Structure 1
Amino acid sequence: MFNKMQENLDIVERYLEGNLSEQERTAFEERLLHDEMLRLQVDDMKVIRAGIMLASRNATLQSLKQLENTLPSIETKVISFWSNTWLQAAAVLLIGIVAYVLWPVNSIEQKLFATHFEVYPNVISPTVRGGEANDSTLRAKAFRAYDQKKYEEAIELFLNISEKDEGILFYLGNCYLANGQVEKALPVFEKVLNEYDIFDEQAEWYLAVCFLKMEERERATQALKKVVARNSAYKEKAQTILDKLN
């Protein structure tokens, strides 16, 4: 039983770090659907990892405080401070450490997401100047909000449309992603890709973009390779990102 628990912990850690192959990840996520104990282990590991990161940051901050306490007292004259070479070096070191600890450093995946993500243009119901008052349907209101970059409002309107066709779902996914709700965007794009055939090329691209946002390099790489293989309009972008990831 101990060996089984250890095996589970190993694969959970690899899953959270994005180090599983596509086949392993698919099999693992299938297990999650039916294994409550495994789901609890995943949740526990997420909490533990978050705690370790917080403890590490707190320890670094404590070290900074101790370093600050060891610095000799500084005269009030500014010129005397900067004339002391040791104090200059200590100040530069302290500033550098604080900047490293407290300033967020974007991963390569996040940088690539920021560079290449843009919402898909509204080609279904473009807003026409002077025509807003003539169309008050829920669908028209949703696309007007989308065109105005009011993504939270557009999400609510799209969700209230009773019959959601492929176009509604695709633009709903765009709204989620633009609004930072990548965990909701992902299944929507998967549905568009797997169950429809009008926006499937676009959905495949946005799936890859979702994985970049989630910093899941392995899944992003596999998705981008599929985009390249499809030879769609996104092929060049996908290859550029792959080159930078590898």
Structure 2
Amino acid sequence: MEREELIDKFLHSELTPAEKEQFDDLLTNDISFKEDLDLLSNLKSVAGAEDRDDLRKQMANFEAKIAANDTKVVPLFNYKKLLVAASILLIISLGVISLLDPFGVSTNDLYASNFEPYKNVVTPIVRGIADDNEEIAAFSSYENKEYAVSAEQFGKLYETTQKPYFLLYQANALLAIDQTSEAIPLLEQHIALKDELIERGKWYLSLAYLKENQKEKAIQLLEDLSANGTFKKGDVQKLLDQLK
């Protein structure tokens, strides 16, 4: 079995007993094999699982060219330097890791695991009953997950009524369709109006900040909710613990 394939299977805990024996022998008796293991371990840590197959294919292709003298970059030293450079570019392009905080939590993952559109607590919808009321129509769209439509409807309703809760629901609809940057100013405006749903606004604004990688702003809001609020008390504290 090729050395790189052995290392790759080791890094993903896929070695058979026979392959493990071959791996241990190389690790004990071949210094260059250990160097390759260290290099590929570093590459794995920055590339992430989703890039595994593509990275392995590219490396295998490059190794084949070296073996066939089909490339000007023959020395292994240069080959390794290129791989290290590639790993740095991968860090920058994918944003999967921070150079200053390599084991930091992913704010995007935290957002995804905590966000769900806020339920309709304002205007109950009676199914099967037609109504020309614009507010009912907006909340019907929202409950049917027609978020782009409901965002527009809520926006128009706020313009005509100036009721703060329409900002909260418009922002939630926008968050549901990944229009985070558009949702943030609506949530900030909603909080400034200090209506009875202000804690909901702070929770969703903290999540929106996380989605935009504005970690410190998110922490500040969550700390305020933890100290002074009651909404999602457990989730607020759990999220704070994950961010610190």
Partner Cα distance (2:59, 2:116) in 1: 43
TM-score, normalised on structure 1? Answer: 0.58
Mapped contact 2:152–2:170 kept (Cα < 8 A): no
Where does 1:115-126 land on structure 2 (aligned, <5 Å)? 115-126=113-124
Q: How far apart are the structure 2 equivalents of 1:231 and 1:136?
A: 37
Q: State the AA in 2 paired with 1:186.
A: I
Amino acid at match of 1:218: E
Aligned residues with identical type, % of pairs: 31
The alpha-carbon deviation at position 213 of structure 1 amounts to 0.7
Give the AA of the match of 1:152: A
Structure 1, unmatched stretches of 5+, are 1-60, 74-89
**Contact preservation (8 Å) 2:151, 2:170:** yes
Q: Which amino acid aligns with 1:224?
A: L
Q: 2:155 aligns with which of 152, 155, 159?
A: 159
Q: Does 1:221 align with 2:224?
A: no
CA distance in 1, matches of 2:228, 2:95: 36
Write the distance in 1 (CA, Å) between the matches of 2:128 and 2:238: 41
Please name the residue that 1:140 is paired with: 136
Cα distance between partner residues in 2 of 1:121 and 1:129 = 16
Change (3 A) 1:244 1:68: same
Q: Which residue of 2 aligns with 1:76?
A: none
1:183 equivalent to 2:178? Answer no
Measure how far apart 1:197 and its partner are.
Answer: 2.2
Deviations 1:7-47 (A, max 9, x none): xxxxxxxxxxxxxxxxxxxxxxxxxxxxxxxxxxxxxxxxx
**In the aligned structure 2, how far is the partner of 1:220 from the partner of 1:122?**
24
Contact 2:210/2:218 (8 A) holds in 1: yes
| TM-score after normalising by structure 2 | 0.58
Residue 139 of structure 1 aligns with an amino acid whose one-letter code is E
Alignment of 1:99-118 (within 5 A): 105=96, 108-118=106-116
Distance 1:155 1:180 in 2: 12
Q: 1:130 matched to which residue of 2? A: 128
For residues 136-167 of structure 1, what are the alpha-carbon distances to aligned partners after superposition, in whole Å with 9 as ceiling and x for unaligned? 22221111110011110111212222223122
Deviations 1:148-187 (A, max 9, x none): 1111011121222222312211111111111211112111
- Give the residue type in structure 2 aligned to 1:190: E
Look up the equivalent residue of 1:71 and give its one-letter code. Answer: I
Q: Is the 8 A contact 2:147 2:173 kept in 1?
A: yes
How far apart, CA to CA, are the structure 2 residues paired with 1:65 and 1:108? 27
Matches within 5 A, 1:1-246: 68=62, 70-73=65-68, 105=96, 108-131=106-129, 133=130, 135-161=131-157, 162-246=160-244
Which has the bigger relative contact order, CA under 8 A and spacing at least 6?
1
What is the aligned-residue RMSD (CA, Å)? 3.3
Q: 1:139 to 1:116 in 2, by over 3 A?
A: same
Give the Cα–Cα distance (whole angstroms) in 1 for the partners of residues 231 and 156 of structure 2: 32
Quote how far apart the aligned CAs of 1:127 are.
Answer: 2.3
- How many angstroms does 1:231 deviate by? 3.2
Q: Which amino acid aligns with 1:212?
A: L
Within 2, Cα distance between the matches of 1:190 and 1:237? 21
| CA 126–65 in structure 1, closer or farther in 2 if over 3 Å, else same | same
Is the alpha carbon distance of 1:103 and 1:222 closer, same or farther for their aligned partners in structure 2, counting shifts above 3 Å?
closer
- On the 8 A contact 1:228/1:234 being kept in 2, the answer is no
Structure 2 gaps, min length 5: 1-54, 69-79, 98-104
